[in-house]
Amino acid sequence: MLPILVLVPMVMGAAIGLLARYLLPGREWVGLFLNPLAGAAAAGVVWIVGALLGATADNGWLWVGSLLAALVVSIAIPKVLPARRVRADGRYLAELTARRG
């Protein structure tokens, strides 16, 4: 039963990611599915690692760790990605204007 139970924190992680996508600034740089999928993946990875280490589904720390991982990833993406995109766009614009001139 534990392998299928990983879907529950993954769905909750996706919900956290979707909520973070609409509540945090910088969403114009983040695609619609990136935050929810990253939150689901983070929750799923932490859940699986915890389960492999011997935690059971009734372990509260497994739930807290999974959802906290989803939250951290969902907050980090809109904070990091816009700065990277602005720098990359600036470099690309400089490259295009250098070719033209």
pLDDT, residue 8, reads 94
Q: What is the pLDDT of residues 81-95, one digit of tens each?
A: 888 888 888 999 999
CA–CA dist 64, 72 (Å, integer):
12
Q: Structural domain of residue 82, as residue ranges?
A: 2-100
pLDDT at 2 over 60: no
Q: Mean pLDDT across the stretch 63-80?
A: 93
Cβ–Cβ < 8 Å for 6, 48: yes
Residue 101, pLDDT score = 62
Q: Could you read off the pLDDT of 10-69 as tens digits, one per residue?
A: 999 999 999 998 888 776 777 789 899 999 999 999 999 999 999 888 889 999 999 999
Q: How many domains does the chain have?
A: 1
- What are 46's two structure tokens? 């932490």
